[in-house]
Amino acid sequence: MNALKRVYRVSAPMQGLLGKATLTRPAAVKELWAYVKKHNLQDPSNGRIIHPNAEMRDVFQVSDSIKFTQVPGLVSKHLKPVSNE
């Protein structure tokens, strides 16, 4: 199966943030980006910087800011492969 189409089980903390139980990796990043936009967490002067709210800080164990390039790695820690069985 193509790695981009592989479905993953989303961790409970990230489910609380995104409201989804299973996602592909690209879809998880897209959902998180939608969350950032919805809650106005993007830095107005540098769109590649995210200022996480309390919920994001708790889920991803980060403090002040996140570079958008860090998002895929943070998301990956909350994705577990769905069993093929």
pLDDT of 63 higher than 80: yes
Angstrom distance (rounded) from CA 15 to CA 67: 22
Q: Dump strand ranges (E) for 1-85.
A: 7-10, 22-24, 49-50, 66-67, 79-81
Chain segment 36-56, per-residue pLDDT in tens: 999 999 999 999 999 999 999
Domains of the chain: 7-80 (1.10.245.10)
Establish how many alpha carbons lie within 13 A of residue 12's alpha carbon, considering only the half-sphere containing its beta carbon: 0
Across the chain, mean pLDDT equals 93
